[in-house]
Each structure stands twice: as C-alpha cells, then as structure tokens.
Amino acid sequence: MPFRPLLPLALLAVAACSNGDGTTEEQLPADSATPAATATATAEEEGGAKSVDEESELYSFEYSYPAEAGEIPALRRQLDAELAGRKKELIASAREGMEQAEDSGFPYNAYSFSKEWKVVSDLPNWLSLSGGFSSYTGGAHGMYGLDSLVWDKQVGRGFPAAELFNSTEALDRALGERLCEALNRERKERRGEPVPEGSDEEFDRCVGVEDATVVAGSSNGRTFNRITVWFGPYVAGPYAEGSFELEFPVDQAILDAVKPAFRPAFSIAR
C-alpha cells in the first residue's frame, strides 16, 4: 500500500485575518503556541488555489492545492479537512517528540510534513490529482509518498484512482509482464546492471499494483487513456534508488479491468 505517515484527524480550528491583498495570515490557537510559529496562507476567497506554509522550532508544515481543485466546493472542503487534520496530528507528534528529546538529553530536530496536490488531468467530467507528500519525525532521513485522487464532477465525490478498476489484482493481470519488465528496465538504469534472472532478493522481485499508487492520466483532454504506477521508497528498491514511476497507455486489457460504471471515462490510447 502507498506509504501514509500521518492520517487525517479531527478538524483544527484556524483563525485568520485578512491582509487586504488576497493573502491571509493564520494564527495558531493560543494553546498550541509551542514555540511561536510564523504562518502564512494564500487562498482565493471564493475558491481557487491555496497554499499554507508554517514553520517554527517545533514543526514545519506545508500544504497546497491548485485552483482547479479549490473551485469545486465539495473537493475544497475535503482537502481543507485533510489540511487541518494533518496539521493537528503533526503538532501533537512534534510536541511528544520534543518532550522525549528533552527527557533523553538529545537535541530536537523539528518535525515536518508537506503535501502538494497537482493536476494530472482536467477532463470534462473528471479531475485527476496527484498528491506528493513527505514527512520527517526524527531519524536519519524523512519519508515520502504519493496519493492519487479522481473527482467525479457529475456525482460530486472523489476516491483513489485505483478504485476505478475492478481490483488491484485485475489491473495486475491486465498489465501482465509489462509491469515487471518496465520496473526491471528502471532498476537496470539506476543500478548499472540488469536484475539477475530468477533472483529472489527483496529488491529484485516483481512488485504488484497493490503496493503502488495508481494515477489516472490523459493525453487527449477528454478521457483517461494512460495510467501511472508509482512505487515509493523501500517498495521496489532501496531508499537510495528513490521512487519508480511507470507509465502505461490504456489498451483493451486495461480497459477490461476498469469497473463497468467508469468505462465511459476511458479510451484506448491511439
């Protein structure tokens, strides 16, 4: 499954005052000023793009989404709820981490979380987004991952792009050997040598869609006709090799793996 370091919790109330120039300045609630944080948020009052950037000795928090998402009220509310939940959990985790560091006599390095939603495809009836995120909660290095979301403009709801398909197993079967072959080509390029045939080493094995993030894309602006299978760190290779992003044009096999209700949103790549 895609790595998710922090899960949305209850909404965090945010008090904002207008600067009169299209930006707002966010203040943390009085009980969370540990220590003082500087925070700015830029957003359109009637929707549109939003970007929040906060930093203090305790934590660093960034979250943004594009205008295409902000202009859909229900989607904007969903993303704002995730923003608030992520920030609330980050602050709670950071406070605990700071206390543990002080009790142990170790220096505390500020915890962080950042997420940036980007438009993958804006179709007449669908909006496809990818949300790259990263977090740091102590240790040698942070972690990162990718979320995907497709928004049905007609129905008014969103869900991960993998749910467009009958199952991850069905998509695995549709991709067949192509998935493993594409992954091994990337591994060869990064390692400077091919994956040994028949190797059972952890990072030489084929990895299935269930361990990936699926992103729905389009090259024609009308329908989904390509998909991306994204493997995060430690899934298909060691941390040093980074993530693996594999793109596949939609063919009949992939189309057959799509849930019948969503097939009108797809077409075979030409």
How far is Cα 18 from Cα 101, in angstroms, rounded to an integer? 37
Predicted TM-score (pTM) of this structure: 0.82
Q: What number is the average pLDDT over the span 163-167?
A: 99
Residue 227 and residue 217 in contact, taking contact as beta carbons nearer than 8 Å: yes
Q: 198 falls in which pLDDT band (50, 70, 90)?
A: confident
Domain ranges within the chain, ordered by starting residue: 15-155, 162-265
Q: What number is the average pLDDT over the span 81-104?
A: 97
| Closest to 169 measured CA to CA, from 129, 125, 209 | 209
Res 100: pLDDT: 96
Q: What number is the average pLDDT over the span 105-133?
A: 98
Res 166: pLDDT: 99
Res 38: pLDDT: 53
- Return mean pLDDT, the chain: 87
For β-strands 244-249 and 226-231, DSSP reports them as antiparallel
Interior/surface letters 227-239, b for 16+ CB within 10 angstroms, e for the rest: bbbbbbbebbbee
pLDDT one-digit tens code per residue, 229-242: 999 999 999 999 99
CATH of domain 15-155: 3.30.565.40
Res 16: pLDDT: 34
Residue 166 and residue 259 in contact, taking contact as beta carbons nearer than 8 Å: yes
Sign (positive or negative) of CA dihedral 221, 249, 168, 191: negative
258: CB partners within 8 A, 6+ apart: 164, 165, 166, 266
94: CB partners within 8 A, 6+ apart: 58, 59, 110, 111
Residue type at 146 in one-letter notation: L
